[in-house]
Amino acid sequence: MSTVFFNLRIDETLNEQLIKIAAEEGRSKNKQIEYILKSYVKQYEQNNGAIIIDQHNNTNATINIKK
């Protein structure tokens, strides 16, 4: 799995809250955000079915959500 870089603009207060939570849980802010997103995707898939990504050497991956 490769890593994707992107910019994220968030409210300053939310940023400070994320930093505090990340420190309490022994993660960097970046890893905390990744953890939160992974948790959300897992919950989403439990409620809506698996998200299948077909990349077969394609730079524009096709995403199918099976319900």
pTM above 0.85, yes or no: no
Strand, helix or coil at 63? strand
DSSP calls for 10-53: --HHHHHHHHHHHHHTT--HHHHHHHHHHHHHHHHHHHH--EEE
> 61 pLDDT band (50/70/90 cuts)?
low
Q: Which residue has the tokens 């939570």?
A: 21
> 55 pLDDT band (50/70/90 cuts)?
confident
In a 13 Å sphere around the CA of 43, the CA atoms on its Cβ side amount to 6
The reported pLDDT for the residue numbered 59 is: 62
